[in-house]
Amino acid sequence: MKSLYWLGLMLATGFLIWAHTHTDELPIVLGFVLIVSALVAAVFPDMVVYTGIITGASLFVAEMLVHFSVLSAPYPASTGLPWVALFGYVPAILGAGIGVGVRRMALV
């Protein structure tokens, strides 16, 4: 079951990186982070901490890859390290908490 979790989390993180580098609309990407982390946490509630950490880091990783010209994006790359992208942890942690909460409410 753990290998299925890691595979799903890697696919979800890959989707978030792809979505972030293919649109310049940040609210849409933050909504994706919230929804994806909620879905993964609802399916695997015992791994909620890892879900929040890894899905939150996906935006920072995407920005780093754009900054170092590994990936291209429809917006200009930042001049320094993209520390602002760490705000992606806010919807990731909220989504993970919501996903676990919904799962527990459904089981009651």
Rounded CA-CA distance 20/36 in Å is 13
- DSSP assignment of 45-57, as one string? GGGHHHHHHHHHH
Which stretches in the chain have pLDDT values below 50?
none
CB atoms within 10 A of CB 102: 15
Rounded CA-CA distance 8/19 in Å is 16
pLDDT score of 89: 96
pLDDT score of 82: 86
The pTM for the full model equals 0.91
Rounded CA-CA distance 88/5 in Å is 21
